[in-house]
Structure 1
Amino acid sequence: MSPTIVHAVVLFDGNNTHSDATVTFDPASGNITSVSTSSNGQFPEGATIIDGSGHTLIPGLIDSHIHVFAIHLPAGEDESEILRSPLRCGVTTLCDMHSDPPTVRQRWQAIADDLEQARKSNSTVSLSDLKSCLYGATIEGGWPKPIVLGHNPSNELKAFVETWPKVTVENAPDFVKNHKANGANYIKLMQENCCSLALPTDSIPVATLEMQTAVVKAAHAEDLPVVAHALSADMTEVVLKAGADGLTHTFVDQPPPQNIIDLYKQTQAFVIPTLAVLSSLTNEMQDWRDEFTEIARKKGLVNDFALQTMKESLAMKDSAAKLEYAFETIKKLRQEGIDVVAGTDSSAGLKGTGLGPSLWMEMLLYVEKCGMSVTEVLRSATALPAKRFGFDDRGVIAEGKRADLVLVKGNVTEDLRALWEGEGIVTVWKQGLKAA
C-alpha cells in the first residue's frame, strides 16, 4: 500500500489548530508517519495525494460512553450497525460502559476480521474500534437492573441480568483482576438510588462508599482507570469520595452544589456529561432530536429503526429533575478547569439516542448550552478522552499515532456544524484505511 498525503489542509491535531498543514500516513502500518505545519508541494512518487484546500483534518472522534449490547433491539435487526453507523459519523473509537463479555468479544472479533479483510483486499473498513469495561461493578439487584428489565421483561432478559457480577468489598479485587485478564480497558462503578428518576428513591439496593472505594483501590492497583455512573448530586459525591477518575454522567436532580464542585477540584476527576441521553430522560430538547434525526436520514447514517428510536424519548425523570441543572454544572466545572469528555450513552434501540449522530448533538450542546468553544469541544472528543483513559495511540494527529482521521469540508474549528452541514465529512480513515 502506498502512503497517503493530505496537504494544504486546516489541521486540528487534537489540541491546536494549524492553517496550512501536511499529514502523511501509511495504510500498511496504520500509523501517521509525518506531520508538517506547512505545505512544500513535493511528494514522493506513488503516494496518494489529497488536496485539503478548503477542508479540515481532525483526529477520529471518540464517543466515551456507549453500549454495544443489543438488548434493546427487536429480533432480526442488524447488530452490525452498532459499529457501522458511528464510523460513518467520524467516530473511530467507542467506549462501551457495561455490556456482557461474550457480546464484547464478538464485537472485538468482528472489528479484527474487518481490518484484516480490508488489508488483504486493499479495500475499506466499516466498523469503529471498541474499548470496554465489560460488565460494570454491579451489585445484587442494583443499577442498571430497572432500566434494562423495563416494564415487561422476558424470562430470557431476567436470566441475563442474573448473570451480572454481584460485587462486594470482599470480592472487589478478584472482580478487577478477572476483568483485566479478560481485556477490560477500564472499570466502571454503578452508583444509583433512583432519586432523579421516575422510580421511588432507594427502591433498589445502593452500593456503599466502602464497596466503591474497594473497587477503585483494586483497579488502581492494576493500573486501570475507574469511571462511575451517577445521576444525582448525592450519588456523585459517593463515587468522587471513593476516588473515581471520572463520572460517566452529570446530575439532573439539582443545581450544582458547591461541595460537589469542590470535590471535582480536589480529585481532578473528569466528567462525561451525556447530555444527549439526559435530554431524553427529562423529555426535553425534542426539537434537537428531530433535527439530528433528519440529518441522519438525509445522509443515510443509520437505518430506519434507529431513525425512529432517535426521535423518541425515555421520559422517565423525577418531577424535580431538569436538564438545565446539567448545563449549569458543566458550565461551572469547565470554569474550574475540570476536563469535560464527550460521550452520549447511546445504544442500539435506546430511546432518544443514535450511535454516531448523537455525538454530533452532544458536541453542539456543549457549544450552545454550556459555553464551550468549538476547539474545546473538538478536544473533548479527541485528545482529552485519549489522555484520560490512557489510550496513548490515538486522539491526536502526530507522528507514530494511529491514522484515525476525519476530513471535513470547510473549517470545522470555526463552525462545528461543518461536521454535518453541506458536504460535511468527506472521508474517514481508521488505521490509515478508508471507511466504507
Structure 2
Amino acid sequence: MTVTIISNVRLFDGTNVHDKARVTFDSDSGTILEVNTSPDASSVDPSANSKATTIDGAGHTLLPGLIEAHVHVYDLHLPPGADHSQVLHTPLKCGVTTICDMHSDPDTILNFRRDIEEDVEAARKGKGTVSLCDLKSSLYGATIEGGWPKPIVLAHEPSDELKAKVSKWPSLTPSNASDFIASHKSTGADYIKLMQENCCSLALPTNSIPVASLETQTAVVNAAHKANLLVVGHATSRESTEIVLNSGADGLTHTFIDQSPTEDIIELYKKNNAFVIPTLVVLSSLTNELQGLREKYAKIASEHLGVIDDFTKQTMVEFLGMKAPQCAIEHGFETIRMFRKHGVDVVAGTDSAAGLKGTGIGPSLWMELELYVERCGMSVIEALRSATGVSADRFRFDDRGKVEVGRRADLVLVKGDPTERLDDFWDKEKGIQGVWKLGWKAI
C-alpha cells in the first residue's frame, strides 16, 4: 500500500473549510482513507505508518481536484498538423483533475480514455506519477440535421476530412431519440448534451439555421431520464434557454447574454431544479469584452507558470467577436447574481477547446472563478464549491469533488489560502505545490 499523509493543513473539503486537518490517501486503491479535522489532526505519528510519505501542510491549503464542467477535447479549432497532445496534460498542471467534454466524436473520447488508463497503469508499474486528467463526456451532442454547431464548423472552406467528420454527427428527431440514447449509453456517455441555438445572440440572422423543436428535445430528455442519464443543454439566448428548460433538462451549459434575467426564468430553473454552467470566459470572447483578463491569465499561465505553450497563449488573448448587437456579458453577470440570490446552482465551466479563441483548457477556469467572485457577487468559497462539491453533486459524480473517506484521491495542495484569496491558486510565489490523481502525484 502506497500511503500519503498530509497533516497540519487547512482543508477545503468541497463544501466547508477546516483550519487544521490530516488527510490520508492511498494510490493502490486511489481513494482517501482518512479525513481528520479534530484537534489532534495537526500532527502525525510517524511510527503509526513508517512507510507512508508524510507532508507537513503548515501554511498550505488542501482542496479537491477542480472539475472543469464544460470543455471540448476535439481538434476542430486547430490548424492541420497542430499539436493536440496537451488537451489532458495542461488542466492537471492547473489543478483540474476532471474535465467534462460537451460534444466530441466517440473515437476521440475512447482514445483519450485509453490513454488515461495507460497513464495510471504506468504509474502502478513503477512510473509513480500521472500526467493526464480524467475525462467525462456526452460523446456527440444531440444535433439535428443542419443545426448547431454544424454550420459554424463548416463555415470557412472546410476540408474534405472535416466534412466527413461532421457528416457523422447525429440528426435527431422525436422518432430516433430513444435509439440515440441507447447507443450513447452503451458507448459510454456520462450524460447527454442538447443543442438549442437560434442565433439570436450571434452575429447571424435569427433562425438562420435549423433549430431543434421542443418536441425533439423533450423526446431526447425523456429517453435519457428513462436510461438514468443527466441532460444538459446548449443555449445562449433567453428563448433557447426556455426551450431547453421546458424540455425537462437538468441544466444549461451556458447562461444567456441577449437580455437581462426576469423572475419567470428563475421559476423555470426552479421548476426543473436545474443548474447552470455560465461559461463567462467564452461568452466574453463572443462579445469581445474582458480582454484585459484574458491577457492576464494567458501571461500567468505562460510566462509565470509555464503551463501552456505559445500557441495556447496566443489563442487565449484572441477573441471570437461574433455577438448580436444587443448582447453583453453584463447580462450574464446579472443573471448569475440573480441565480445566487434565488438558490440556483452554478457549476464552473468555460467552454474551452484547443484552438478556440479566448480560451485555454485549464487556465481559463481560473479566469471563470475570478469572474464569479469579482463580477457576480460570489464569495471565494462559493466559487470553489462551483468547481468541486456543487459540480460533483449536480453531475452525480459521487466518487470525486469532495475530500471524503472513500472518494477518489484527486487533490490539490496550494501554498497560502485560496479560500480567502483565489489568486493564491496561481500565484507565482505561492501557487500549486502538488496535484494528485487517484493518489498518484502529478506535479
Question: Aligned with 1:219: secondary structure?
Answer: helix
* Matches of 2:125 and 2:167, distance apart in 1: 42
**Does residue 214 of structure 2 align to residue 189 of structure 1?**
no
Residue 39 (structure 1) shift: 2.3
* Matches of 1:160 and 1:412, distance apart in 2: 42
* Matches of 1:36 and 1:62, distance apart in 2: 24
* Matches of 2:313 and 2:127, distance apart in 1: 32
* Matches of 2:131 and 2:22, distance apart in 1: 26
Which letter maps to 1:382? Answer: T
**Does residue 369 of structure 2 align to residue 369 of structure 1?**
no
**Does residue 59 of structure 2 align to residue 54 of structure 1?**
yes
Residue 152 (structure 1) shift: 2.6
Question: Aligned with 1:71: secondary structure?
Answer: coil
Question: Aligned with 1:171: secondary structure?
Answer: helix
**Does residue 359 of structure 2 align to residue 359 of structure 1?**
no
Which letter maps to 2:435? Answer: V
Which letter maps to 1:66? Answer: V
Q: Choose 206-215 or 71-80, whichever is displaced more.
A: 71-80
Runs of 4+ in 1 over 3 A off after TM superposition: none
Query: Out of 41, 45, 56, which is 1:42 matched to?
Result: 45
Which letter maps to 2:42? Answer: S
Structure 2: gaps of 5 or more residues:
none
The equivalent of 1:392 in structure 2 is 398
Query: Out of 218, 222, 228, which is 1:217 matched to?
Result: 222
The equivalent of 1:201 in structure 2 is 206
Q: Choose 368-377 or 139-148, whichever is displaced more.
A: 139-148
* Matches of 1:2 and 1:164, distance apart in 2: 44
**Does residue 256 of structure 2 align to residue 251 of structure 1?**
yes
Structure 1: gaps of 5 or more residues:
none
* Matches of 1:344 and 1:380, distance apart in 2: 12
Residue 176 (structure 1) shift: 0.3
The equivalent of 1:156 in structure 2 is 161
* Matches of 2:155 and 2:373, distance apart in 1: 33
Residue 109 (structure 1) shift: 0.6
Superposed counterparts of 1:12-411, under 5 Å = 12-37=12-37, 38-43=41-46, 44-297=49-302, 298-411=304-417
* Matches of 1:136 and 1:122, distance apart in 2: 36
Question: Aligned with 1:316: secondary structure?
Answer: coil
| Matched length | 436
* Matches of 1:2 and 1:131, distance apart in 2: 27
Residue 105 (structure 1) shift: 0.6
Which letter maps to 1:93? Answer: T
Question: Aligned with 1:334: secondary structure?
Answer: helix
CA deviation vs aligned residue, 1:247-304 (integer Å, no higher than 9, x gap): 0000010011322111112221000000000010000000000000000112111111
Query: Out of 417, 424, 432, which is 2:431 matched to?
Result: 424
Question: Aligned with 2:333: secondary structure?
Answer: helix
CA deviation vs aligned residue, 1:153-197 (integer Å, no higher than 9, x gap): 222212211110011000001100100000000001000010100
Question: Aligned with 2:430: secondary structure?
Answer: coil
Question: Aligned with 1:50: secondary structure?
Answer: strand
* Matches of 1:80 and 1:230, distance apart in 2: 29
* Matches of 1:205 and 1:72, distance apart in 2: 22
Which letter maps to 1:425? Answer: I
Contact kept, 8 Å, 2:8 with 2:43, in 1: the verdict is: no
Residue 79 (structure 1) shift: 1.5
